Amino acid sequence: MLLAVACHSHRPAPQLQNQGSGEAQPSFEVTLTRTVCFGSCPAYTVTIHPDGTVDWRGTEYVAAVGVRHGRIADDAFARLARAIEKVRFFELDSDGRLPRPTECAHHGKSTECDFPRIVICSDTPVATVTITRGGVAHTTSNSHCEQSPLDLLEDEIDDVAHTKQWIDKRP
């Protein structure tokens, strides 16, 4: 299992495409972990490796509890690379938001600042996405309390990894 600790830095994001060719390099690893909620939300971890293999570990509220293996389609890395770029993944903070500067206005002797919103919720499933490229890992989470750029990426990861076959309990 991949464990990563991320902090926000101003390093440039690792490139996901070959320079010049425009084709995605299958040299990044993607891990999506979903937790349970106050209900029956599926809990699992799926990792897509650079060679296209998929590792699944289902834990709760899934059809396939335990370890399963699969393989992604040939075009899946290109699809993932596009989704990663579209959500600006490597720019997201640990809570899945694009950082914004704190803006302050000075009014005489007082200063008023507009700090980023803090949203607290409970009983929702949390999704954590880690992407490792060139030895650099970036991790961010989505608590599903409000709309997030990660929603699109999570759906794309599930789609290319074919997780529905292991989640769905219907025959």
Mean pLDDT of 12-21: 41
Asked whether the CA dihedral 20, 9, 140, 116 is positive or negative, the reply is negative
Q: Are 121 and 133 in contact (CB under 8 A)?
A: no
**Each residue of 31-71: pLDDT tens digit?**
999 999 988 999 999 999 999 999 999 999 999 999 999 99
> If one looks up domain 28-167 in CATH, what number appears?
3.30.1560
Instruction: Return the H-helix or E-strand segment holding 130.
Output: strand 127-133
* CA 55 remoteness from chain centre: 16
Give the model's pLDDT for residue 89. 94
**Each residue of 71-83: pLDDT tens digit?**
999 899 999 999 9
Between strands 103-107 and 110-114, the pairing is antiparallel
**Each residue of 108-159: pLDDT tens digit?**
888 887 766 677 777 889 999 999 988 899 999 998 888 888 999 999 999 9
